[in-house]
Amino acid sequence: MSAPVSSVPRHKVLVVDPIAPQALEGLRAAYEVTVRMQPSVAELVDLIAGMDAIVLRSGVKLPADVISAAPQLKVIARAGNGTDNIDLAAAEHAGVQVFNIPNVSSGAVAELALGLTYAVTRHIALGDRQIRGNLWKKSELAGMELVGKTMGIVGLGDIGSRLATLANGVGMRVVGSVSRHTPDREAAFARAGITLMTTDEVLRSADVVALTCPLNDHTRNLITAAELATMQTSSYLVNVSRGGVVDEGDLYDALVRGNIAGAAIDVLAVEREPSRLADLDNVVLTPHIGAMSVDSQRRIGTMLLEGLALGLAGQDAPTRIV
């Protein structure tokens, strides 16, 4: 005689951003899963109704009207760090638990930042494009060595601190800025080989300025024409934080005018839309892949499954935010 089939309904989970295959397999084994990659807001309103949980990364926004369209929603699982795409106040008001998975991908983002630095300062991406078009312009591709140069890091959290270690490792001098500058923090960073400065001082002194700060009310449009004008004309800007930290119109103008030598950008203010920056040879662009290493996504997937199981059981995920 066969065993009775359980009548307990399985929780419904909506996945709207790519996650590790192993994590998706684990979700499907435990829940009733709907996968719809990066739907429009109108489509998301229809999809989320009746869902117990939603899994997303940075590619989908969850404003208040979407959250209010899901009265059954219990958990918002951010498979990564930043939560600037989620209306946290609306989630808290609705009694929805929100958790993220911080710091797990910090090493991957820091490595990409250093890779982008090499790509733009040594014209690696431009040389690749030229060769694919059978253009041999070797004499025009002389680049800057990093050894002995200054890496300026705006935002010395986990990503910025890891980037500082990598930059020190290739022989760069490292300076940086933080939101709260205290004597104790200055001493601690000095022991790690980092000279703490104001952001203005970092911009003026660095050969490469790397943005690794979160996007919030204090950092939105942190880099505009005024800040770019203080940078050296031979310097480069690398952004692995969020697109909103930089005024991209001002950056375009600065690059065209030669106010700075180049830029490498992993995070655009508007994704999946054409950018004028793509027209410039002194710009390297990547599609927000800082956290997209196989290793970090596997680790994130494991923590995602653990946090979601707790949240749907009415318990707090270890990294609960609201």
Q: Pairing between strand 32-35 and 75-78?
A: unpaired
Answer yes or no: 93 catalytic: no
Question: Which pLDDT score is estimated for 2?
Answer: 47
Question: Mean pLDDT in the chain?
Answer: 96
Q: Hey, what amino acid is at 286?
A: T
The Cβ-side half-sphere exposure at 145, using a 13 Å CA radius, reads 4
Answer yes or no: 276 catalytic: no
Selecting among 271, 276, 299, 320, the annotated active-site residue is 271
Question: Which pLDDT score is estimated for 9?
Answer: 85
Helix, strand, or coil (residue 26): helix
Which DSSP helix (H) or strand (E) runs through 200? helix 199-205
Q: Tell me how far apart the alpha carbons of residues 164 and 193 are, in angstroms, rounded to a whole number.
A: 8
Q: Tell me how far apart the alpha carbons of residues 151 and 167 are, in angstroms, rounded to a whole number.
A: 7
pLDDT bracket for residue 8 (50, 70, 90): low
Identify the CATH number of the domain defined by range 12-102+294-312. Answer: 3.40.50.720
Answer yes or no: 181 catalytic: no
Q: Which of 256, 200, 194, 197 is nearest to 223 (CA)?
A: 200
Selecting among 57, 162, 242, 248, the annotated active-site residue is 242
Selecting among 201, 288, 298, 299, the annotated active-site residue is 288
Fold of 106-285: Rossmann fold (3.40.50)
**Number of C-beta neighbours around residue 41 at 10 A:** 12
Contact 164, 151 (CB under 8 A): yes
pLDDT bracket for residue 265 (50, 70, 90): very high
pLDDT digits (tens, 9 = 90+) for 91-137: 999 999 999 999 999 999 999 999 999 999 999 999 999 999 999 99
Q: Which position has the token pair 């927000």?
A: 288
Q: Tell me how far apart the alpha carbons of residues 211 and 208 are, in angstroms, rounded to a whole number.
A: 10
The boundaries of every CATH 3.40.50.720 domain in the chain are 12-102+294-312, 106-285
Q: Tell me how far apart the alpha carbons of residues 276 and 253 are, in angstroms, rounded to a whole number.
A: 10
**Can you give the length of the chain in residues?**
322
pLDDT digits (tens, 9 = 90+) for 188-238: 999 999 999 999 999 999 999 999 999 999 999 999 999 999 999 999 999
| φ and ψ of 249, to 5 deg | -65, -45
Q: Which position has the token pair 């923590």?
A: 303
